Each structure stands twice: as structure tokens, then as C-alpha cells.
Structure 1
Amino acid sequence: MGIMRQAGSLALAGIAALALNACGRSNVDGDSVVLHRGNMAEPLTLDPHKASGTWENNIIGDMFIGLFTEDAAGETIPGMAESWEMAEDGLSWTFSLREAQWSDGEPVTAYDFEYALRRILTPETLANYASVLYPIRNARAVNTGEMTPEDLGVRAIDDRTLVIELEFPAPYLPGLLTHYTTFPVPRHVVERFGDAWVQPQNIQTNGPYRLVAWRASNYVHVTRNELFWDNDNVCIDEVFYYPTVDNAAAERRVRNGELDLITDFAGQSLPFLRQQVPDYVRVHPYLGIVYFSFNTTLDKFTDARVRNALGMAIDREFIAENILRAGQIPAHSFIPPGVDNYPGTARIGWFDAPVEERRRLARELLEEAGYGPNNPLRFTYTFRATGDNPRIAPVVQQDWQLIADWVQVDIQVVETQIHYSNMRSGDYELGDGGWIGDYNDAYNFLFLAETESVPMNYTRWSNEEYDTLVARANRTVDADQRGRLLVEAEQIMLDDMPYIPIVYYVNKSLVNPRVTGWEDNIVHIHRTRWMCFSDLEDGSAEG
């Protein structure tokens, strides 16, 4: 898909008043202050109950706000929740909501939250991300159709009081409640328009911005929601989000002043960018991991020896230092460093062995599993079209084929959104992926391997001991004991290798130094409501 084509002629034509002058580009179009954001990929949806990508979150989180939200530093702060109380056993939370309105003037109530959480867990909604809400009492049973939405442990007491009951104590609940799966939706709009409620002419929002236009493969345009409760402290009036699949083109657009920021760039460009636009470059640790997934429903990948062999053969150091080249660290675990209340001592057993020794051992494991010249191992590796992924693919293809000439690998690039859709449906053999923590807790990574987390468990791997340990950990109040149980579970997963950890992410952004309110943070969430332009703040916008 030629994602950047027509961007100048269509998106920028509507804002032709933005010109280059003696002070550089002005972001004032008439009376509006406009921000142009590169946004990695084209969103498949702007419905918070059907989204699953960070690029969708960037837009949805500017339009909707849940009980909690993020500040400029990515820290959890109150959103719609004005105050809250937790029961002594940690299983019930009561929230008092602030007075707020939807963008059409209707009040935002606790009943909107009750309706939203029931809606996302209703099987007919087909929410890919529903399993992230399974800590809520009966959420899993509702999502599988075993119980009705009315059985969900969420109830509105009155317009401004909401109670959420949990299956187990979840001290990370405020962080989870920043996630778009927990956002309210306007019941009066959804019930009237059905799935069409998110179309620009229908949608109503409770956050700083509301949707104006969505031009597929071109841009999404939002404008200030004047009824947002904190509207007086919002600087940016309009935002255009552009899909920026082509990193090189996106980097040029930032340097040329067409985009104010992008949230990813090619690692090999880092030295050039630091030389050309040093004040734009932002590189920072990120709560995320790049991994590969096996489809363990396929006969060729049911054997842990095969999965470990393919994991062993990958030269992570080469990928990090020569392909990515932006400070990524080869991953020896599935959970990245920096997770709160987690010892992080689980480790891939063969990680420290030299790569040549690992490939020799990989060959032995594959031979033990029955592969060889008379029974070659053949599979297709599919990968995302964005970022550095197309450059990594031929490297890992060669890594695997260096095990033996009877390991035969085809590689195939797939548009990012379609790639993830294929993995959720199990329509792949071995595929790449990335996971960014939705909240700072180890469970947000380990739930991806629980048996009942399909479709987010792309691998379809199932291990009873693993599931039992995670369940025990989730019912353990003591943080140290909980951490030890989760480490034990992670070690089981690493030994069985349904996912191959590759590298820990760093976030890489180019941000025009005129943009204020951008703070590097581990979750890489940057809400537009905190941003402005320095030359507007100091009154020098006209140059």
C-alpha cells in the first residue's frame, strides 16, 4: 500500500495557510493551532473496543479518557475518576466520577462505563483485546458466552458512582484503567448508529478532541472538543495523524517541516539524524519487546525442540548492533527490564552461548525431532511492513538456513494491520511481532501465553502448569511472593519457547524542538493535550 501517496496534495491542501517564513513553519492556520503527527500505520478502527495497535491508541487516547489517564511523562493520573476507594481485600473498587460531558453536551455517567465494559466483553463485539480485562469478575465467562453481560462485575450505583469487582487483587488496576479497552463510549450514540457510531458525522467523545475526518491511507483529522472538562488548558486546536509506513519518507517530512513529529524512525538513520537534526532526536528505553511467534497448532511447531532450535540460531547481537542500531538490547527474557515489583530473574538457558555453538546445538535438536536431508524443515516467516522489520527478515532467514541446508525458509512481508489480524486468527506459521506494555506490571506480558488469552495468545500454546502459576500469582497479595510465582511461570514459557524473544525495544522519535510538552517515557505515550509550540507560548508565532 502506497501509504504516503497524495499526502501533500490532499491533507496539506486543506491547510495551505501553513507556510514557511523567516521563523520556520508556522503552525497557526487562521485562529487554529495545528499539530501534524506521523503515526506509523493506518488504523483499522477508531472504536476503542475493537482497536489493538499503538497507532490506534495514539488517536483514540486523544479523543477518549477513561477513569485514569497519562500525564506528559506517561505516569498514571486521574481521568474521569475524581476519587476512589479500594476494599480491604482488594477485590472491589468504588469510583466517584467528575462532572463531564460528551462532545454533544450529554453528560458522561457511570452508566456509560458500565455499558462500555459490558459491550467490549460481549462475544458479538469481537473485541480482539477483551482478554486484557479478564481481571474483572466474570469477564472471561462473559466474553466466552458462559455468562451474560449483566453478570459482569461492573455496576453503576448512580450517575457518578461506579463499582468494579475483581477476580483477584490487582494493585495495577489504575494503570490498566488508562487503557483504551476501559474507555467509556456514549451509549446514546452507539445504540443509535451501531458500528457506524465512530464515523465522523456520528461520533461523540469525552476527551480533548473529536473526529472531523478520516481519509483512508492519508490522514485522520481531529479538532478540539470545546466541552472537554480541561479544555482551558489545551493548546493544540487541531491534529492530523498521518500513517508513516515508509520511515525514510517520514524522516524527510520531519526535516522538511511537513510533520512536527514521528514516533519511530529507522535505526540505521540514527547517526545521520544526530548529525543533521540533533535537537529532534529522542531515543529512550521502552517497556516493550520484539518477539517471534510460533503457530503451535501446526505439526512442525508442536515440538519444543524445534522451537528452541530456531530460537538458538538467531544472532540477536547482530540484529541489535548492525540492523537496529539505536541501543536495543538482545532479549534474554520475555518480560523487559524496568517492570515494577518484578525480580526479572527468568532467563533463556542457552542465551549466553556463542552463536556458532548454538547453531550446532540447534541442528542436533532438529535431528532429534526427526528433521534432516530426507525430511527438511520448511516454513514461511511473515513480518510487518513497517519500521526495521523488512531489514531483519533476510537476516533471520539466513540465520535459520545456516543451521543446515535442509532448513528451508520463505519470507513474506504483510501490511502491519493484516499481519496482526492473521496472527490473531491463526493464519500464519512463524511471524514477527512487538508488544508494548499497556500498564507497568509483569502480568501484562505473561497473559499473552495463557491458554484462555486467545486470540491475543497468537501461538495457541497451552501449558497447565504455567496457567496455574499465573493464576496463583494473580491471587497473591504479597508483592514479593507474587513476583516469584510470575518468574517461575516466565521460566516455563522461556524453556518451552512458544515465543522467541529477540530484542527489548527502545522508543525512537523525531520531535521538532518547537514542540513543548513532549516528555520521553517508558510507555511511549504522548497525549496531544499536553503539547504546544514554544513560539506560541512566548508570543512569537509570527516570526
Structure 2
Amino acid sequence: MTRLPALLLWLCSSIASASTLQQLERGNGPEPATLDAHRCQEVACGNVLRDLYEGLVTEDARGRLVPGMARSWSVSRDGRVWTFALREDLRWSNGQALDAGQVVASFRRAFAPATAAPFGELFDALHNARAVQAGTLPPTALGVAAPDPRTVVFTFDRSAPVPALLTLPIAFPVYLPGVERYGAQHTRPGQLVSNGAYRLAAWTPQANLVVARNPQFHGVRDVAIERVRFHVTEDAAAELQRFAAGDLHLTEVVPPQPLDTLQRRFGAQLRIAPYMGAFWLGMNLAQPPLRDAPQLRRALALAVDRDKLTRYITGFGEQPAYGIVPPGMSGYTPAAAPWSTWTQAQREAQARALYRAAGYSQKHPLVIELRYNTSTPHRRMALAVAAMWREVLGAQVRLRNEEWKVFVGNRKQRVITQVFRGGWIGDVPDARNFLAAFGSDGPLNWTGYDDAGFRARLAKADAAPTEVARNAWLRAAEQRVLNADAVVPLYFYTSKHLVDARVHGFDANALDRHASRWLRLQP
């Protein structure tokens, strides 16, 4: 009899806990291509990985750099040696201790040729990083070391925005015993061991992915939301309807609709802010008909009316783009296409002349494919651009819509693509981040652009003695790509989300990163 009240009390407590369990419902765009942090190259997996993992440095809700695994760091006077002091209480989600030696081993795995990390080239300033990725030096030659269990030291060959780079998924520590035991399956629920605010609880392909608060995380006391469900939401219109029905607390995007209509409907729940991203169409320079066809590439670039695109197709304050690097980079003046100051009528007249000079006409029209991944905004953009090319040039445009993983694979291989949806979302607030992919034959150079002059300018920027000189050389490199019409710039992004009034702590930031650990969900 004396045990019954205690049992009832426990049952009531359990029921109360279950009823107040907080689960944030997030739209997340396409299915994440991977949860292998070292292989992630898109926003969908990055959103999830920033909940599952933490790097040496992380970002707060406003995008400011703050300590992560490292409690502090310092840099040598020449800016090339960075030393990070780790926290004392670091543990993996399985309870095992996490020390500096494991951080170093994870970095070596990230840059090993077998990993084929797509963002490895962003760390090309790291000592021996290129040689290790190419397989000409062993991973132990990488410029990262652990002199003791609580210290990680990086050696760079030139100055670089190191703390910002260390917030990227490629810099997250991966649990190597899990990789050795499960191989590619180490990213599955029950097998993925992480070190961030959350751990992976469930993953239903093409539906949703659930993460649960990680009790081993050093900052767990400040993580308010217990579970987060990331929903696959490739159709932006359907995502909006799910938000309106109360199924989602937060959307990844907002579909193209009249802005005043959305503001009347959703009020303060509609969040629009500047975003460090550029949207462009890539030209496959490795295959015909765009290879060795500069006049045709220029004609296609000129024929697009960017003012119409941003006014009628996107409609959320995006800026028409005539370059690759978005405005707002500290100390950097973006380059622009040579014809950026022309009127649209002048551009279209020149486009038609170049189209004819390239050997095309009404009797012999250009037949070309425009490839994009499944997404309502991307489909609308592709339809609009195709209509402009037909109207201005008489080109026959075939639209190719592909599921995200298929699209990414085809774009990277540069075999069957012709014109494709491209662009870049900033990883760090640095102009070089938007240009580096064009300087190598790596997996991020989707166009196959190969120009010694561009590489020389990039190298000059890397060796520049001052920030002013560095930015000048980067601008010259950007101009080189634009002069070759390797891409068709369309617009610079704004971030667009619907955020339920019950969600607190969602702050706008230039990189549009919103880790769930900083959010709170009010009843």
C-alpha cells in the first residue's frame, strides 16, 4: 500500500513530461544527400548537421562567431599558426570522451582522397591540404596537430578566415570508430555518433528526419527544444500550406507569390532579410554546344531580363545580378559583366547579333537543355528564362527537372549537362569563397571553367600583402570569369522564411543559419 502513491506520482510525472515534450517542426527543402559531415555540400544537409555536430568554432543565433568545442584560440603574428584550447567536458553522444587527437584524426579523414570532401578546396590554404587530397602526401602531412589532449594547432600557408572556416561541416569531428565499423552506413539512426546539441533519432527517407537533444552536449542546459523534425519539403507551395495548417513551425523557403498578399496573410510571421548568396545559371564549358562558343554564351547571358525576373518571378526584394560575388562583403567592390550598364533593349539587340554570328537562325535554331532540381521557385525561374531565350533569340529550350541527388551528380560530372541551375550560398563572408571553385578541376567546378589567367589572379590575391591588394586581385579574378560568360548571373538572394509566432530566438543573419539549439518553442 505504501508503494502505490509513489507509483501514481511517477505515472503522473511521466504523463506530464510526455504531454509537454517539445518538438519543433522544420521544413528543410530536399532530402539531405548525406549526413556524412565531410561529404555535405548543400544547405539541406548543413541544416541538420549543425544540430548534430559542433566544430571548434560555432555561430550564435545572429551569425556571430563564438566558442564551440574550443573555449579559446589565438593566432601567431604572421597569421599562419592558429592554436585552439579545447573545453574540458567534451563528449560524443555515446558518452565517450572527445579529445584533440580525435579532432586531428577526423581532419585527416576529411582530406583523405577516399573521402572526396567537396569543400576541401575551401581549405586550400591549410598546409599540405591540396597534396593530401590529391594523394601525393599522406594524411599525416596535413597541417593540423595535437601537441596534447586539449590543444589543436593548425598551420596555414597564407592568411585565411580560419575561425569562420571551422564552422563548416567539413571541420566537424566525425566519430571514426563508427566509420570503421559501419562504413557509409555510419550515418544511420542508432549508428551515427555526434558531438552537437542533438543526436540522430530517426530518418524516414523522402519524408522526415528527427533529432533529439543530446544529454552529453556540454551546453545541454541551454538547449530548450527537446526534439526537432526536419521535413522534406521540395515543393515550396505545399510547404507554405503545411505551415498555414499548423503542421510546420518554420519553413525553409517561401514560394513566389505577391509580397503584399503574403504580408497580409502572415504578417510578422513572414521573415525576409538580406542573404549572402548568388543565383546563376552555369554553362557546361566541357561539352558542346557551349564549349568554344563565346558568342553563343554571351547571347544567352544578354537575352535574360533580370529586372523582370526579380520583379515578377522572385518578388522578395532580390537584386538583379550582373556578377558572382554579392554586395556587402567588407572592403570588396564586386565586379560586373561588361554590359551591365546597358539598357535591356541594347542587350537584346546585341544578343540577337551574337546569336546569328554563332551560326544560329530561325531556320537553324539553337536546341539546348536547361536543367534544374525539383523546386517550385526553380521551376518558375527555368520557365521564365526559357521563355526569354525563345522570344529574344528563337532558341528551342528543353527543361530537365531532376531529383536533388540525381541533379547534383549530373552537374558534378559535366557530361550530359548544358545549362544548369547553379549559384553559391556563402560559407564564410569572403569574396574568395564565391570564386575558389572556378580555379580548380574539383567537384565544385560545375562549369569546367579552365583559365590560367583566372588562376594567376587568384594566386596573386592569396599572396597579397594587404587586404586592399587582396580584394583588388579577387575582383580581377571575378571579372575574368564574367568576361568569359562561364555563368549567367541572375540575382542575389534574400532569405525568406515563415516562422510561427511561438518560435523565439530566430534572428536574421547574413548566412541564414539557424541552429535549433538557439531556438525556443513557447506553448
TM-score band by shorter chain is over 0.9
Instruction: Provide the secondary structure at the position in 1 that maps to 2:72.
Output: strand
Going from structure 1 to structure 2, the CA distance change for 1:221 and 1:459 (only over 3 Å counts) comes to same
- Looking at structure 2, the residues matched to 528 and 29 of structure 1 have their Cα atoms a distance apart, in angstroms, of 20
TM-score (norm. length: structure 2):
0.93
Partner of residue 119, structure 2: 129
Paired residues of 1:341 and 1:441 also in contact (CA < 8 A): no
Q: Deviations over 1:454-494 (max 9, x none)?
A: 21010010111111111121122411111111111111111
Q: Trace 1:451-530 onto structure 2 (pairs within 5 A).
A: 451-452=440-441, 454-530=442-518
Paired residues of 1:264 and 1:387 also in contact (CA < 8 A): no
For residue 188 of structure 2, the aligned residue among 195, 199, 224 is: 199
Instruction: Provide the secondary structure at the position in 1 that maps to 2:167.
Output: coil
Q: Deviation above 4 Å: which 4+ runs of structure 1?
A: none
Instruction: Provide the secondary structure at the position in 1 that maps to 2:310.
Output: helix
1:222 aligned onto 2:211: yes
Q: Trace 1:289-308 onto structure 2 (pairs within 5 A).
A: 289-302=278-291, 303-308=293-298
- Looking at structure 2, the residues matched to 477 and 55 of structure 1 have their Cα atoms a distance apart, in angstroms, of 37
Paired residues of 1:122 and 1:149 also in contact (CA < 8 A): yes
Question: 1:129, CA displacement in angstroms?
Answer: 2.5
Counterpart code for 1:326: F
Instruction: Provide the secondary structure at the position in 2 that maps to 1:353.
Output: coil
Counterpart code for 2:37: P
1:111 aligned onto 2:111: no
For residue 37 of structure 2, the aligned residue among 28, 33, 48 is: 48
- Looking at structure 2, the residues matched to 442 and 515 of structure 1 have their Cα atoms a distance apart, in angstroms, of 33
Structure 1: state its 5+ residue gaps. 1-26, 536-540
For residue 145 of structure 2, the aligned residue among 129, 142, 155 is: 155
For residue 132 of structure 2, the aligned residue among 135, 142, 146 is: 142
Paired residues of 2:348 and 2:392 also in contact (CA < 8 A): yes
- Looking at structure 1, the residues matched to 303 and 35 of structure 2 have their Cα atoms a distance apart, in angstroms, of 39
Partner of residue 7, structure 1: none
Counterpart code for 1:426: R
Question: 1:424, CA displacement in angstroms?
Answer: 1.0
Paired residues of 2:303 and 2:393 also in contact (CA < 8 A): no
For residue 46 of structure 2, the aligned residue among 46, 57, 79 is: 57
Partner of residue 85, structure 1: 74
Partner of residue 446, structure 1: 435
Q: Trace 1:322-361 onto structure 2 (pairs within 5 A).
A: 322-344=312-334, 346-361=335-350
Q: What is the percent sequence identity of the aligned residues?
A: 33
Counterpart code for 2:82: W
Instruction: Provide the secondary structure at the position in 2 that maps to 1:402.
Output: helix
Answer with 364-373 or 110-119: which moved more.
364-373
Counterpart code for 2:91: Q
Answer with 149-158 or 217-226: which moved more.
149-158
- Looking at structure 2, the residues matched to 119 and 376 of structure 1 have their Cα atoms a distance apart, in angstroms, of 50
Partner of residue 402, structure 2: 414
Going from structure 1 to structure 2, the CA distance change for 1:508 and 1:283 (only over 3 Å counts) comes to same
- Looking at structure 2, the residues matched to 270 and 146 of structure 1 have their Cα atoms a distance apart, in angstroms, of 53
Instruction: Provide the secondary structure at the position in 2 that maps to 1:211.
Output: strand
Structure 2: state its 5+ residue gaps. 1-15
Paired residues of 1:263 and 1:507 also in contact (CA < 8 A): no
Counterpart code for 1:207: G
Counterpart code for 1:336: P
Partner of residue 16, structure 1: none
Counterpart code for 1:61: R
1:391 aligned onto 2:377: no
- Looking at structure 1, the residues matched to 141 and 295 of structure 2 have their Cα atoms a distance apart, in angstroms, of 43
Instruction: Provide the secondary structure at the position in 2 that maps to 1:83.
Output: strand
TM-score (norm. length: structure 1):
0.90
Question: 1:28, CA displacement in angstroms?
Answer: 7.9
Q: Deviations over 1:130-161 (max 9, x none)?
A: 22222211111111122211111112222111
Instruction: Provide the secondary structure at the position in 2 that maps to 1:125.
Output: coil
Going from structure 1 to structure 2, the CA distance change for 1:528 and 1:28 (only over 3 Å counts) comes to farther
Instruction: Provide the secondary structure at the position in 1 that maps to 2:444.
Output: coil
Aligned CA-pair RMSD: 1.6
Going from structure 1 to structure 2, the CA distance change for 1:286 and 1:28 (only over 3 Å counts) comes to farther
- Looking at structure 1, the residues matched to 69 and 338 of structure 2 have their Cα atoms a distance apart, in angstroms, of 45
- Looking at structure 2, the residues matched to 201 and 269 of structure 1 have their Cα atoms a distance apart, in angstroms, of 44
Question: 1:408, CA displacement in angstroms?
Answer: 2.2
Instruction: Provide the secondary structure at the position in 2 that maps to 1:123.
Output: coil
Paired residues of 1:244 and 1:250 also in contact (CA < 8 A): yes
Instruction: Provide the secondary structure at the position in 2 that maps to 1:235.
Output: coil
Question: 1:377, CA displacement in angstroms?
Answer: 2.3
Q: Deviations over 1:35-83 (max 9, x none)?
A: 1101011112111011111111110000100011110011221111112
